[in-house]
């Protein structure tokens, strides 16, 4: 168990949140009053005269709110059940930031704003870089209730309204969450409820074959439920099988008895060896709709992940192109999903690579509700060792996502039991910004970063801003410029291995040789561009017009290819890597000159030391890789190892 003093010193943002909640709250309105009182009492704002808040609950407003400023720092917050809490945080933020209050009704762009935790009941976090799970250990729940309460406040303060508490790779260890552990799930939900945060559970599609009713109901009051079948596990998970459908309906009833406001289920099916409907010759709409039907009576939603591809591809097969996989699978199913199904689609067609175009599933499914899935956990973006701030990247992504059918947003959590919650003290920016973008995806990145800096109370705003604003483009330069993907160490996904994935079964190739690099994904190549609407396709189709940062994602080009700025492709590769490394050195110098709280400084500087080593390794390995292949020296005569 973590030391309270230790984590209390590290609020993700907003130092006033250090003050623990005095009492057990029962509603967002109570939470709002409590936060307003804390804030008024604190010096955090440094605003001189204490503000005075008054609250008008208007259930019809739901998650929305309206802020009005009266005379003498009086603020009236009118809002719906959770809107009133969101409005309170907005008011507090604006006071601290010395911004004027927003005009009119404030409503979130996406109704489902979910943080997906890849936490396993045994306490590990898949792709977690901030320590062990905040709530799991040893196969069950284990947490500090005060810290979970703090978590609820942090999530609510940026408008996140759903927390999926377990890994999408829901294996045997996750099954008790919809069985024996339901009373524990219910207790956990109770802590987060006053902050407007509902739980979601990742479920194993094959659960009916492993979870027997009798065994799983221990400790539950189930006398009100009549069961239509025996207590033994089923021999199938076929979504069209009547027993299976009945099993899930009963299961949902039991689950909702324990957690009446559960948001629903999240399912990773037929993906990377997870079970799914394909086993039974059923399509993904049939699989999803079966679960959605079970959830519908309780208002639950079924979130179905679209991260499906052939993970046993033969590298010799150049016809199969992994980025095409999800669209090929889901586009024919557009319009076939039930009302309460949301298809959750990663932002890019691959897997959270440093640079990917937006997934064509997101732009091509006009009759399907969708969630866009972002990854706050820095799996491919530096493991929360290297600085990588996401808002500038997200701006690019949301530019292409005007689709009305995107009703939800999910972010893979970067939280863990580290005292400072996110490993790198600056990594919490991405969680903060995720909430902000979930509310309004067209925000200016610089403004969001600045708000986080100021709310954190960092005194040297401009230095931290400079570091954060450039961090993602610097990282891209020293790792994977021009849309090159997958040159990471396999499995670990930190550090360079230009051909570590080249001959593997994951569909992850750069196909570099002594003359060329990249894959032709145009209409003349694998045809991937044809999955986009014309206005997007035409941006990428022609190598002469394709934006540099996507060039090698869409095109196979010789090293001597002339870029628009006159440089050759190989020279641009060398330049970017050298520059990325040099910029990292400059970032290190910049960081060392910034005054930060002592604990943040030590952590940030130690991580920056590792980032510099990592940047050097990437720069040298990738340059050597292409030099060994091409034999073309750097025009500027910098050292490339042979």
Determine, following the binding rule CB under 8 A, whether residue 52 of this chain makes contact with its own copies.
Answer: no
Task: List C-alpha distances in Å: 339 to 288, 342, 405.
Answer: 11, 8, 12
379 part of the active site: yes
Determine, following the binding rule CB under 8 A, whether residue 624 of this chain makes contact with its own copies.
Answer: yes
Can you tell me which of 294, 465, 512, 557 binds its own copies, judged by CB under 8 A?
512
- Cβ pair 526, 321 in contact under 8 A: yes
SS3 323: helix
Can you tell me which of 396, 457, 629, 633 binds its own copies, judged by CB under 8 A?
629
Determine, following the binding rule CB under 8 A, whether residue 613 of this chain makes contact with its own copies.
Answer: no
Q: Map the footprint of its own copies across residues 78-117, applying CB under 8 A.
A: none
Count CB atoms within 10 A of the CB of residue 221. 11
Determine, following the binding rule CB under 8 A, whether residue 620 of this chain makes contact with its own copies.
Answer: yes
Determine, following the binding rule CB under 8 A, whether residue 503 of this chain makes contact with its own copies.
Answer: yes
Determine, following the binding rule CB under 8 A, whether residue 636 of this chain makes contact with its own copies.
Answer: no
- Residue 509, C-beta contacts closer than 8 angstroms, at least 6 positions apart: 315, 486, 501, 502, 519
CA distance 102 to 89: 13
Smallest gap from residue 557 Cβ to its own copies (A): 15
Determine, following the binding rule CB under 8 A, whether residue 497 of this chain makes contact with its own copies.
Answer: yes
Determine, following the binding rule CB under 8 A, whether residue 382 of this chain makes contact with its own copies.
Answer: no
What per-residue string of b and e applies to 487-503 under the rule 16 or more CB within 10 Å gives b?
bbeeeebbbbbbebbbe
- Cβ pair 128, 377 in contact under 8 A: yes
Considering CB under 8 A, how many residues would be counted as binding its own copies? 27
CA distance 613 to 607: 10
Determine, following the binding rule CB under 8 A, whether residue 359 of this chain makes contact with its own copies.
Answer: no
Stretch of 42-50, 145-153, 246-254, 623-631 contacting its own copies, by CB under 8 A: 623-631
Q: Map the footprint of its own copies across residues 301-320, applying CB under 8 A.
A: 315-316
- Cβ pair 498, 622 in contact under 8 A: yes
Determine, following the binding rule CB under 8 A, whether residue 630 of this chain makes contact with its own copies.
Answer: yes
Smallest gap from residue 628 Cβ to its own copies (A): 4
The token pair at 321 is: 């192109």
HSE toward the beta carbon, residue 533, CA cutoff 13 A:
12
- Cβ pair 568, 560 in contact under 8 A: yes
HSE toward the beta carbon, residue 204, CA cutoff 13 A:
21
Determine, following the binding rule CB under 8 A, whether residue 514 of this chain makes contact with its own copies.
Answer: yes
- Cβ pair 320, 354 in contact under 8 A: no
SS3 326: helix
- The single residue of 94, 213, 351, 373 carrying the catalytic annotation is 351
Determine, following the binding rule CB under 8 A, whether residue 634 of this chain makes contact with its own copies.
Answer: no
Determine, following the binding rule CB under 8 A, whether residue 500 of this chain makes contact with its own copies.
Answer: yes
Smallest gap from residue 86 Cβ to its own copies (A): 47
Determine, following the binding rule CB under 8 A, whether residue 628 of this chain makes contact with its own copies.
Answer: yes
Q: 145-157 and 28-41 are packed helices; what angle lies between their axes, rounded to 10 degrees? A: 90
* Kind of pairing between the strands at 301-305 and 264-267: parallel
Q: Cβ closer to its own copies: 179 or 496?
A: 496
Q: Cβ closer to its own copies: 161 or 611?
A: 611
Strand ranges of the sheet holding 65-69, from the earlier edge strand across to the other edge: 52-57, 74-79, 65-69
Element (H or E) spanning 434, and its range? helix 428-439
Determine, following the binding rule CB under 8 A, whether residue 332 of this chain makes contact with its own copies.
Answer: no
- Residue 249, C-beta contacts closer than 8 angstroms, at least 6 positions apart: 293, 294
Q: Cβ closer to its own copies: 328 or 617?
A: 617
Q: Cβ closer to its own copies: 500 or 507?
A: 500
Count CB atoms within 10 A of the CB of residue 588. 16
Stretch of 277-285, 327-335, 430-438, 617-625 contacting its own copies, by CB under 8 A: 617-625
Stretch of 75-83, 203-211, 301-309, 495-503 contacting its own copies, by CB under 8 A: 495-503
Count CB atoms within 10 A of the CB of residue 589. 10
Q: Hey, which bits of 505-627 come out as E strands?
A: 516-517, 557-558
Determine, following the binding rule CB under 8 A, whether residue 321 of this chain makes contact with its own copies.
Answer: no
Determine, following the binding rule CB under 8 A, whether residue 631 of this chain makes contact with its own copies.
Answer: yes
Q: Cβ closer to its own copies: 144 or 617?
A: 617
Count CB atoms within 10 A of the CB of residue 637. 7
CA distance 27 to 31: 6
Smallest gap from residue 629 Cβ to its own copies (A): 6
Closest CA to 400 of 521, 525, 550: 550
Q: Cβ closer to its own copies: 491 or 566?
A: 491
Stretch of 183-191, 193-201, 269-277, 510-518 contacting its own copies, by CB under 8 A: 510-518
- The single residue of 30, 144, 146, 272 carrying the catalytic annotation is 272
Determine, following the binding rule CB under 8 A, whether residue 122 of this chain makes contact with its own copies.
Answer: no
Q: Cβ closer to its own copies: 497 or 599?
A: 497
C-alpha 185, offset from chain centre: 22
HSE toward the beta carbon, residue 102, CA cutoff 13 A:
17
Smallest gap from residue 543 Cβ to its own copies (A): 20
- The single residue of 35, 379, 418, 603 carrying the catalytic annotation is 379
Determine, following the binding rule CB under 8 A, whether residue 3 of this chain makes contact with its own copies.
Answer: no
Q: Cβ closer to its own copies: 26 or 310?
A: 310
Stretch of 97-105, 268-276, 429-437, 627-635 contacting its own copies, by CB under 8 A: 627-635
Smallest gap from residue 499 Cβ to its own copies (A): 5
Smallest gap from residue 581 Cβ to its own copies (A): 14
Which letter does DSSP use for residue 546 in this model? S
* Kind of pairing between the strands at 112-116 and 74-79: unpaired
Smallest gap from residue 511 Cβ to its own copies (A): 8
Stretch of 122-130, 512-520, 538-546, 603-611 contacting its own copies, by CB under 8 A: 512-520
CA-angle at 322, arms to 318 and 326, nearest 5°: 140
Catalytically active residues are: 272, 351, 379
Which residues bind to its own copies, rule: CB under 8 A? 315-316, 490-491, 496-500, 503, 511-515, 617, 620-621, 624-625, 627-631, 641-642
């Amino acid at each position: 168990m973590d030391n309270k003093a230790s984590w209390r010193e590290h609020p993700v943002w907003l130092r006033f949140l250090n003050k623990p909640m005095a009492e057990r709250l029962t509603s967002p309105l109570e939470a709002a009053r409590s936060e307003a009182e804390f804030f008024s009492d604190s010096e955090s704002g440094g605003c001189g005269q204490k503000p005075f808040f008054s609250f008008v609950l208007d259930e019809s407003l739901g998650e929305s709110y309206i802020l009005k400023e009266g005379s003498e720092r009086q603020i009236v917050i009118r809002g719906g059940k959770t809107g009133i809490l969101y409005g309170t945080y907005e008011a507090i933020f604006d006071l601290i930031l010395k911004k004027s209050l927003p005009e009119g009704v404030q409503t979130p762009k996406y109704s489902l704003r979910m943080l997906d935790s890849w936490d396993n009941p045994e306490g590990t976090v898949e792709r977690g870089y901030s320590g062990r799970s905040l709530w799991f250990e040893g196969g069950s729940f284990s947490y500090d209730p005060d810290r979970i309460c703090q978590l609820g406040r942090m999530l609510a303060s940026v408008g996140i309204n759903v927390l999926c508490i377990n890994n999408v790779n829901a294996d045997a260890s996750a099954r008790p969450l919809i069985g024996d552990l339901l009373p524990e799930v219910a207790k956990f939900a109770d802590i987060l409820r006053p902050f407007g945060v509902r739980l979601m559970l990742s479920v194993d599609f094959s659960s009916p074959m492993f979870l027997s009713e009798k065994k799983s109901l221990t400790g539950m009051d189930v006398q009100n439920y009549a069961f239509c079948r025996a207590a033994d596990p089923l021999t199938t998970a076929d979504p069209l099988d009547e027993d299976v459908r009945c099993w899930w309906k009963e299961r949902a009833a039991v689950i909702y008895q324990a957690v009446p406001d559960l948001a629903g289920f999240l399912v990773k099916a037929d993906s990377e060896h997870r079970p799914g409907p394909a086993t039974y010759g059923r399509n993904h709409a049939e699989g999803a709709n079966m679960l959605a039907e079970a959830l519908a009576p309780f208002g639950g939603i079924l979130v179905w992940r679209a991260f499906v591809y052939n993970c046993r591809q033969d590298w010799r097969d150049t016809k199969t192109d992994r980025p095409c996989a999800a669209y090929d699978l889901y586009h024919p199913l557009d319009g076939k999903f039930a009302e309460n199904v949301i298809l959750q689609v990663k932002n890019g067609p691959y897997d959270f690579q440093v640079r990917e175009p937006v997934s064509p599933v997101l732009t091509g499914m006009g009759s399907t509700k969708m969630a866009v899935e972002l990854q706050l956990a820095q799996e491919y973006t530096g493991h929360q060792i290297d600085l990588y701030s996401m808002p500038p990247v997200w701006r690019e992504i949301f530019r292409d996502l005007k689709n009305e059918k995107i009703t939800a947003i999910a972010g893979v959590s970067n939280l863990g039991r580290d005292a400072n919650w996110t490993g790198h003290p600056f990594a919490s920016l991405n969680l903060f910004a995720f909430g902000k973008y979930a509310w309004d995806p067209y925000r200016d990145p610089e403004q969001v970063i600045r708000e986080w800096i100021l709310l954190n109370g960092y005194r040297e705003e401009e230095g931290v801003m400079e570091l954060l604003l450039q961090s993602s483009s610097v990282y891209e330069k020293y790792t994977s410029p021009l849309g090159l993907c997958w040159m990471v160490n396999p499995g670990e996904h930190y550090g360079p291995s230009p051909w570590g994935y080249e001959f593997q079964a994951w569909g992850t190739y750069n196909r570099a040789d002594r003359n060329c690099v990249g894959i032709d994904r145009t209409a003349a190549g694998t045809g991937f561009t044809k999955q986009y609407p014309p206005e997007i396709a035409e941006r990428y189709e022609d190598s002469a017009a394709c934006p540099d940062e996507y060039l090698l994602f869409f095109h196979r080009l010789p090293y001597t290819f002339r870029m628009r700025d006159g440089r050759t492709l190989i020279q641009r590769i060398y330049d970017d890597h050298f520059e990325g490394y040099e910029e990292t050195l400059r970032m290190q110098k910049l960081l060392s000159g910034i005054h930060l709280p002592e604990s943040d400084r030590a952590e940030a500087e130690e991580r920056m030391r590792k980032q510099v080593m990592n940047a050097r390794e990437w720069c040298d390995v990738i340059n050597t890789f292409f030099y060994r292949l091409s034999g073309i020296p750097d025009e500027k005569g910098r050292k490339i190892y042979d």
